[in-house]
Each structure stands twice: as structure tokens, then as C-alpha cells.
A and B are shown apart, each in its own frame.
Chain A
Amino acid sequence: MTERLLDISGLHTGYDGVAVVRDLELHVDPGEVVALLGPNGAGKTTTLMTISGLVQILEGSVSVMGRPVPKLRQAQRVARWGVTHVPENRGVLFQLTVRENLLLAKTRGRVDLDRAVEFFPALGPLMSRRGGLLSGGEQQMLALGRAIVAEPKLLMVDEMSLGLAPVIYEELMPVVRRIADETGAGVLLVEQHVDLALEVSDRGYVLNHGDLVMSGPAAELLANRALLDASYLGVESLE
């Protein structure tokens, strides 16, 4: 088998030496959308930050396309391997214009601005507006648009729905699927809206209090709603 796009095994990670996520096993292959689910404080965001190199690994390993994630000071290298991380607060730079934000999608080489507009036509007329002046939905479009033009091999999106109206994120969610299908990128999706996320995903993992409590194909997780809810509520015995 070829190398996994993202391979996490036996991962313990957290802050100041205290593990927030324990013993995580997770992988993402090219072209698939994987949902990482769980209630508040489960450790989803911490996991993504660890993959991006912004949080120090305590134990275990994280490798992206066979390369281990570097130390904190070298975090920018992960992005250059083709990992694009859309953080929870979207990562839109408020002082820069939409165009400038998009230009930063790549550290070198031409950036295809039109492609972002093709996915999100609404961005077209906003090109010279500052990021800080966009609405929440526009900011999320910009963040996703930037992720698309970055032509990532692995795309990680953190809480896309946060602070957005349902009409907006229901429109954005299928875009993620489209990226995976069209470009063959692997997508790791962190979401609190379970149904919405699983609808577009191939597989899913459920974290609770830092432990992996469930995983499997999306359809299976959806079919087993009771178990899923129980895992969210942290019920001790699931048999």
C-alpha cells in the first residue's frame, strides 16, 4: 500500500506537558473526507494544531505523506508540504485585502485567483476589500477559497459552521466534498454538527475528553445514532 496522506498513531498531545488528547489513532487517505467529531473540549482543535505543528507532540507520531511533523519553530514547513489548515477563527487577515489574503495561499508560485472566484462567485466583487470588513460568511468563503487555491494535498477545516447561519454553512459543506472529489485531496473536517458533517464524509472519528470513543464509515456512524449520541454524552458502557 502506498503511504498514507496523514497517519497518526499512539498520539498524546496537549499543553505544558499535560495531555489533552490521548492515544489517538487516525488516518486520512487521498480523496476522502474524514470527519473528526466530538463535544466541546474533546481535543479536536488540539489534534489539528498538532498536525500543523503548532502544538508539541508529547508521545506517539504524526506523519504527513511519510514525513514526521517538525518541531514548533519549524511549523511553517508543514504548510509547505501541502497541508492547508483553516483554523477555527478562519485565519482571515483583517488588515489585508481579499486579494492579498488569497495571494498568501502559496509561499511561492502563481496563485490562481480565478479558481477561488469560481468556487465562490461572491468573492469576485470583494477583491479589494479588507478582510476585517467582510461578514462572517464572506470570511469563511475567503478562508475556504484560499484553501482551494493553495491546492492542498491535505485540507483541514476546523468548525466551519461556527458563528454562521445554517443557510450559509449548509452551502459551504458540499464544497468540501467537491474539493476532495475534484482534486483528490484528503480532507479532515472538524465539526460539531454531526449529521451535516457525516453527510459529506466517508469516515468519521468521535473524540470525547481526549479519548477516541468511536470510529468507522460515515454511513455506519449515522445508522447507529443512539451509540453516537451515547458516545457524545460520555456514557461509560456502550454495550
Chain B
Amino acid sequence: MPGERRLRNRPLAEQIALAVLAVVGAAWVVAALIDTPVFFQPVLFGLGTGAIVAALALGLVVAYRASGVINFGHGAIATYVTYVYVSLTDTGDYPIPPLPNPLAPIEGIGGIELVDFPTMVGMGGPMHPALAMTVALSTAAVLGLIAHNAIFRPLRYAPVLAKVVASVGIMLFLQAAVVLRFGSRAKSADPIFPNDPVDFLGVRVGQDRFWLLGTVAVGTLALWLLFRYTRFGIATRASAENERFSTLLGFNADFQAGVSWVLASVLAGLVGILVAPITGVTPNLFTVLLISSLGAALLGRMSSFVIAAAAGLMLGVLDQELFRLEFEFAWIPDIGIRRALPFVVIALAMVVRGETLPSRGAVQAERLPEAYAPPITRGRMVGYGLLAAIAFWVTVFAPFQFRSGMQNTLIGVILALSLVVVTGYVGQISLMQMALAGVAAFAVGSFGTSAGLPMLITLPLAVLSGLGFGLIAALPSLRTRGASLAIITLASGLAIEEIFFQRSGWFGLGRTTKVAPTPEIGGVEFGTTSDFFWGDGKIPTGAFGLFLLVLAIGCCVSVMRLRRSRLGEQMLAVRANERAAAAAGVNVAAIKLSAFGIASFFAALGGALTAYKLGTYAQDSFGIFVSLSVLAFAYLGGISTVGGAIMAGTLFAEGIGIVVTNEWFIDVGPYTAYVAGFFLIATAVYNNEGIDGFQRRQLAGLWNRLRRQHKAAPRNPPAGVGASNE
């Protein structure tokens, strides 16, 4: 029962953490008195960023309290609204939200010219900031309403995974919309707060930070009062605890959630607008800051405004302080500790506060996507064989752009399989898979290129590196699950990216591009440029593709076998109910770790292969946003089946599906993320089994109808309907 937790004393870990915090704080105060510029100046500088982080965290808490959703799209909403504001004050043009041109995809796919849809409405020249702010914030309110009514209300009783995926979809969609509409260059706006510098305790800083800080403080106080003392706030808390009880008392939980979504969105927009003049705005600024905000909100258990805001400010300050210290003291290694700060804080929050995210007392819970294991029939084997044969032909003999697409697809399949195992089978949301892939890719550079080891040693070593990182990063999953785990893995991914990919020292070459050796075993080269006796000889040749095909088929078969094995059954048991699984004698911790291990293996393999395929690569291929879109495609394809992973692979960036669309229909390139975001949301809301599950049901329905025509009454259910696994 939720109430009982309050009865316990503070856990020991929390006491220790508080003690450590107190000691560090005291040490810092002493240091600040002795050397003010080094120890105090960063505080004032950090308050600016801290205020943004805090303000975003407030919005996250509002959304969570109202609907139990951790909104990964919060930062993107802030970004979008800010761009609207900037556009209004700059030129007075209002972009029709959120599409760049609603007809563009249709025009493109159809290859036709439709009427020119007005996508920017001129509002008569640059607008007064106050008016622009009103219009932009109204846009935010509408976005909030849409998010609630079209996405999160239908998902009220859905599993956490669907909610996380939907909010990731919002993020991808809005961010892509911003890039398509406004380009990816940074924009700025005229100051709103006075920004003349002031002297404060001997440090000269811009006044605007204090204004921003004051605004955040007022906002925090207002939210605290709202949720503490007003009937609306109390009733919203009541609904969060038990929706049925609050309904019996006459409160409309739906309405409350809608209001809170509007509130959260408007807050996000306000943050963006107030901050834009100070820092400028880029398409992913707020989404990157959001990771710190998630940490801050998590420290406040997603329910305390005051703790979340304070933690946000602290994060900003600490970030600047670490930056200053790294700069000041040469002995502190420049390995990006400060960039990993959100991760450290989130990890600490998890260890200290454990599983204390208040869960929502839902009236009913919906099912997770079915982990369908098709019965192995002769017909199906023939089908698989046919599929492999087609893949073989495309890989080796098709025109070069198809061969290239096929290679991307094959790697994509392996990457998606990693999510099928960890997220589809065990229900643990991992947002760090591409970071693990990156570790392996960079290891290929280090072992293969720098150390000159042969591939037979390099590839296993690279995969092992990724696997090792994956297992370490998986440790928090033993204590957390659901949305908290999603946040932690996101932060781990960021930490790995920042510390290992962007710095010199760890993987030899640092920020510059890395070079992978040509794959060869026993003197036989089979890189993308190696000669191959089949095909037209153009680059990429079929050699590397064939290697990928063999590996991808091997991975698919292993995951299919895994699903049918005892381990697979145990994984599904853990997914369904950890406690029940434990009670039935399943070692939950071991199952989770093995799932993360297997998933890391696939991710690392995919990453190493990416390195070999690309030849030269930089960290951009393995950033957290790539991780998010990998999850997006895997969910879109079907998160809990091998068929879904294959489907995901074809949809993948420059995968065979995209190449075919480009070649035969239209160039969807610029719209990929945009369309993916849209379909991701739609999939999360309306069809949680993805494309694979959808077509399976359609086929089963068709098969059923055919049988019914053939026989009056079918005695056995058709394949695909009977075997259900939860």
C-alpha cells in the first residue's frame, strides 16, 4: 500500500547520502570563502542553466502527477513553442503547427502538385513580444490538449512501455518538425528580462539570471500551492492515487489530466521563450537539458515540485562548478565528468530512493504486446527459405543502391533484435542500445585500426566491450523498472556518449572520425569495396553484405530459439509479473541480467558491423537520439517478435524499405524522422504490436475466412490466433 512507505524511517542509504551532501556542501562553502572566483562564480553562472533545468523539471512533475506519464517530449514541446515565438517576433509569420506542409508527404509520394497549402501565416510584420508570447503559449496549450486527448488519454491504462514510446514519438515528431520548418541553425530573440550586468558578492554576472531564477521560484511556489491547497490540486492527487475513488467523489480525472497537460505544455513553452534570448535555441537544446531535468524530477519522486526545482538548480550549478574545476586544476582528467552529471545524479537517486516512484492506481491494466512464436510448420520453413533467398539475391545481385540499403537493413535487424530481447521479451525499456553499439564500433577502431589486430580477434573483443558496458549499465535494472529504467538507460547512454566518444584519451582518436580496417579473415577481404566474383562489381560489392546476411540470419534464428527456450519462457514470466515470476522460482535478477547481456551482445555486434560497413565514422552515428529512434523503429516494426525486428530493419534509416520507396516512389529522406515519429505515436496508441502484429492478424483473419468458406466450421483455430503468450 502506498501509505505504508511513509511509515518507514529514512533508509540508511538516504541518511548516508544526506550526510555526504552536507560534508561536500560545507567544504564548498569554506572553499568559496577562500577563493571566490573559482568556487562562487560558477554558481552564479550555473543558476541560469539550473533555472532552465528546474523549470523543465516542474513541467515533468505536473504531467506525471496528472497522468502518470514521464514525458520525453517535454523538451521538444518547449523547443517547438520557442521557435514559434521567435518566428512571430522576427517576421510575424505563424507556422501552421506542427506540419511543415501537411500535403508535402502526399505530394511527394503521389508525385503530384497539390494546391500550395499555406504553411506560414503572415501576421503583419514582426510582432510585439507580449502578443507573440500569448500566441506561442496558446499554441503550447493546444499541443498539450492534443497530447492529452489524442495520445495519453487513450493510453491511460496502457503499460508503461506504450506511454514511454508515445512520448518518445512526440519528441521525434516535434523535433523533426522544428528542423524541417526552421532548419537546424541556432536562433535567438530579443531579451525579455533586463540583462545589464550587476555585481554580486564581487562577481559580475548578467542580471537576467536572477530574473529567470525569480520566475522559477515563483512558479515553483505557485505549483506547490496549487497542488497542496486548492481543491483541484487535492483532487488531482486523489486521482493519481485512485481514479475510481475520485470518480465516486464526483471528480473528473480526465478533465484534471487535460488541464495539467495544458499547464505542463504552457510551462514548457514559457521556459523556452524566456530562455531563448539568453542562450539562443537549437532544435535539440531542451531535449538535451531534459535529461538533467528528468534526473531532478526523479529526485523529487516525480511528485515534489520543491525538491525537483531545487535539484534542477543544483545540477546547473554543479555543472558549472565542475567545468570551472576541470579548467582550473590540470590534474582533473578531461573526460567529460561534468557531462555525465545527470547520469550520476539519476543513478544516485535510484540507489538512494530505490523504487519509490509513486505508481498510478489504475482501474484496469492493458496487455503488453504479444510475444508471438509461430509454430514451425513445413510451409513456414519454406517461407523463411524464400525470404532468405530473396535477401541473398538483393544482397548480391541487385543494383548497388539496393545492396547498400540491404546492408543497412541487415545491421538494423540485429540492432532491433537487441530491443526485442530486452524490451519485447523482458519488458525492460532500454534507451542506450546505440551507445553500446558505439562502444563496440569505437573498439573496432582501437583494436583493429590502432592496434592492428586481425578481425577474428577484433570483432569478438569489440563485441565483448559493448557487452561489458551493457552489463554494467544494466545493474540499475535490478532495482528499477518501467519509466525509471527508461530514464536511467537514457542517462547511461548520454554518459557513455559524452565520456567515451567525445573525449580524447579513451578510444585513441577522440573527437575526430575513426577509421575501421577492411574486414578480412585468413587473408580473404570482404569489405564493402573488396572484389567479389558475383554481382556487377560496383561498390558496395556483395561480399560484406553476404557476411552480414549470414550473421543476421544467425541472430534471427537464435532469438527465435531463445523465445521457445526455457530462458525465453522465464523472460516472459518476468515481463508479465516480476513478483509472480519470483514466486514461481524464477531468478528475476539473473533473467534480467542475461536479457541485458544478450541484448548488449546484439547491439555491440550491430555497432561493430556498422563500423566495418562505414569505414570511417564519428560519434554522431551512436548518439542518444539514434538510440531513441532505434527504439522507435523497433516498436514500430513490432517490439516483441523477430518478424518485427526484420520489419524494423527495412524501415531503418536508409534501409531497404526506404531505398525502395526512394527509388520507386519518392524521396522520403528529409521526412523519415518526422513520419517515424508520427507512426510511432499511432502505433503506441492504436496498435501496440507494430506492423508485424498487424499483418499477422490481417493474415490470420484472411486465412480464417478462407477456411470458413472451405469448411463450414473450422475445428482448429488458424495459426496465429491460438497460441497466446503473456
Contact = CB atoms under 8 A, between A and B. Distances in A.
Interface string B1-44: 11110110000000000000000000000000000000000000
B241 A95 contact: yes
Contacts of A233: none
Interface in A163-208: none
A93 B241 contact: yes
Contacts of A95: 2-3, 237-238, 240-241, 358
B7 A73 contact: no
The residue in B1, B6, B238, B358 that gathers the most chain A C-beta atoms within 10 A of its C-beta is B238
Contacts of B2: 94-95, 132
A70 to B, nearest CB: 12
A122 interface: no
A73 B254 CA distance: 9
Given A87-B245, A95-B241, A132 B3 contact: yes
A130 B250 contact: no
Contacts of B392: none
A30 interface: no
A54 B252 CA distance: 13
Contacts of A103: 231, 234
Contact of B250 (A73, A93, A107): A107
A230 interface: no
B381 interface: no
B251 A132 contact: no
Given A93-B245, A94-B241, A96-B238, A80 B250 contact: yes
B6 A130 contact: yes
Interface in A78-118: 78-80, 85, 87, 91, 93-96, 100, 103-108
Interface string B229-253: 0010011011011101111111111
B247 A79 contact: yes
A107 B251 contact: yes
Contacts of A76: 246-247, 249-253
B248 A104 contact: no
B1 A132 contact: yes
Contact of A79 (B3, B250, B254, B358): B250
A131 interface: yes
B257 to A, nearest CB: 13
A93 B247 CA distance: 12
Contact of A91 (B3, B235, B240, B249): B249
A106 B242 CA distance: 17
B679 to A, nearest CB: 27
Contacts of A77: 250
A46 interface: no
A214 interface: no
Contacts of A52: 248
Contacts of B237: 93, 95-96, 100
A52 B245 CA distance: 11
A4 B258 CA distance: 36
B231 A107 contact: yes
Interface in B394-410: none
The residue in A54, A87, A105, A132 that gathers the most chain B C-beta atoms within 10 A of its C-beta is A132
A130 B231 CA distance: 17
B248 A54 contact: yes
Contact of B3 (A75, A105, A133): A133
Contacts of B241: 93-96
Interface string A110-154: 000000000000000000001111000000000000000010000
A79 B245 contact: no
B267 to A, nearest CB: 23
Nearest to A48: B248
B153 to A, nearest CB: 10
B61 to A, nearest CB: 15
Contacts of B240: 95
B1 A104 contact: no
Given A104-B231, A133-B6, A54 B249 contact: no
Contacts of B4: 132
Contacts of B3: 94-95, 130-133
Interface in B657-705: none
Contact of A107 (B242, B249, B358): B249
B68 to A, nearest CB: 14
B247 A133 contact: no
A60 to B, nearest CB: 22
A133 B248 contact: no
A87 B246 CA distance: 11
A20 B250 CA distance: 25
A93 B361 CA distance: 11
B6 A100 contact: no
Nearest to A132: B3
Contacts of B246: 76, 93, 104
A144 B243 CA distance: 19
Contacts of A85: 248
Given A94-B241, A133-B3, A75 B247 contact: yes
B6 to A, nearest CB: 7
Given A94-B3, A103-B231, A87 B249 contact: no
Contacts of A80: 250
Given A93-B241, A95-B241, A96-B237, A87 B248 contact: yes
A165 B249 CA distance: 27
A104 B249 contact: yes
A48 B1 CA distance: 25
Contact of B244 (A54, A73, A105, A131): A54
B692 to A, nearest CB: 28
Interface string B194-230: 0000000000000000000000000000000000000
A99 to B, nearest CB: 9
Contacts of B231: 103-104, 107-108
A203 B630 CA distance: 65
A73 B156 CA distance: 13
A30 to B, nearest CB: 20
B66 to A, nearest CB: 15
21 contacts: A52-B248, A75-B247, A75-B248, A76-B251, A76-B253, A78-B250, A79-B250, A87-B244, A87-B245, A94-B241, A95-B3, A95-B241, A96-B241, A100-B234, A104-B249, A105-B249, A107-B235, A107-B251, A131-B3, A132-B1, A133-B6
Closest 4 CB pairs of A and B: A132-B3, A79-B250, A94-B3, A91-B245
Given A96-B237, A104-B234, A131-B3, 18 more contacts: A75-B247, A75-B248, A76-B246, A76-B253, A80-B250, A85-B248, A87-B244, A91-B242, A93-B237, A93-B241, A93-B242, A93-B246, A95-B358, A96-B241, A103-B231, A130-B6, A132-B4, A133-B7
